Amino acid sequence: MSARQPQCDVAALSDKGRVRPINEDSYRICAEQRLFVLSDGLGGAAKGEVASAMAVESVVASLQEDATAESSSNGDGNGVLSHETKTLVEAIQLANQKIHEQGTRDPACRGMGATIVAARITGNRLSVVHVGDSRAYLLRANKLEQLTADHSLVAEQVRQGLMTPEQAAASELQSVLTRALGTEANVEVDADEIELFPSDSLLLCSDGLTRMVPEEEIATILVQAAAVPAAAERLVERANEYGGQDNVTVVVIRLLKSKSWLAKFMPWFSPNLV
């Protein structure tokens, strides 16, 4: 039996920024599958826009092929990933192979690569997977939490205590990635699952947002926006106001309260109370 899907509002926006000549970001939203995918082509590399487009299209196609398969696995909270998360990981690994093979075959595409972050909602569970420095955030009770860990040189140095977050933010090495799609025949994909609650908000974004806009301000925009289109527009606008040094793409997802979901989380809940 398929899990009951929560209702959600979704908005996305992508902009080339104030400096880059083209937009190398790509995204796809598949509302029926509650699937959200965002990819950032590697800046300065060949055909970054091709790599990011291949990444999102390949992942979406893989998940659509898997849509007819059902699984009773929902993960057990002890490190065992659900079927939905595993298939998302496999889809990204396949996308990596396709991008790498294209770069090997076509001299014009040699060296192309991309980051990727993808989220999939199944019932009240969120699957989030990523490669590179595009990020996923959770906003809960007005607090913003980064769900992904950047695969970048400066982020690794921060995690090892060799650099402070402030030094990392000012470093000229921010763009040096330790992992990306297409650069190698195989790639390690980070995956996690969390439980979602009514009124949670999710944000997927390329680094064109996070390098320009402080997290505190991102949280404020998400909290204060009356609707998700306004949040997406303001986030992109703010990145450009701070200089727009890179392409910027955001996907904003706001989970809505429903009577059936409230009853699940609060057994004492009565529809007559609202």
pTM for this prediction: 0.88
**215-270 tens-digit pLDDT:** 999 999 999 999 999 999 999 999 999 999 999 999 999 999 766 555 555 555 44
What pLDDT does 68 receive?
A: 52
Residue 238's contacts (CB-CB under 8 Å, 6 or more residues apart) are 212, 213, 217, 221
Q: Is the pLDDT higher at 103 or at 172?
A: 103
What pLDDT does 261 receive?
A: 53
In this model, does residue 85 exceed pLDDT 90? yes
Rounded-to-integer distance, Cα 218 and Cα 166, Å: 17
φ, ψ dihedrals at 253, nearest 5°: -125, 125
- Mean pLDDT, the chain, whole residue set: 88
In this model, does residue 196 exceed pLDDT 70? yes
Query: What burial letters (b/e) apply to 89-116, b meaning 16+ CB within 10 Å?
Result: bbbbbebbbbbbebbeeeeebeebbbbb
**20-58 tens-digit pLDDT:** 999 999 999 998 889 999 999 997 667 999 999 999 999
Angle (nearest 5°) at CA 168 between 187 and 190: 25
Query: Which of 69-78, 125-134, 138-147 is predicted least confidently?
Result: 69-78
- Residue 88 has which token pair? 């998302």
Rounded-to-integer distance, Cα 158 and Cα 156, Å: 5
The DSSP element (H or E) to which 195 belongs, if any, is strand 190-195
Looking at the domain that runs over 8-273, which CATH code has it been given? 3.60.40.10
Q: Is the pLDDT higher at 71 or at 204?
A: 204
- Which amino acid is residue 7, in one-letter code? Q
What pLDDT does 271 receive?
A: 47
Q: What is the DSSP letter of 81?
A: P
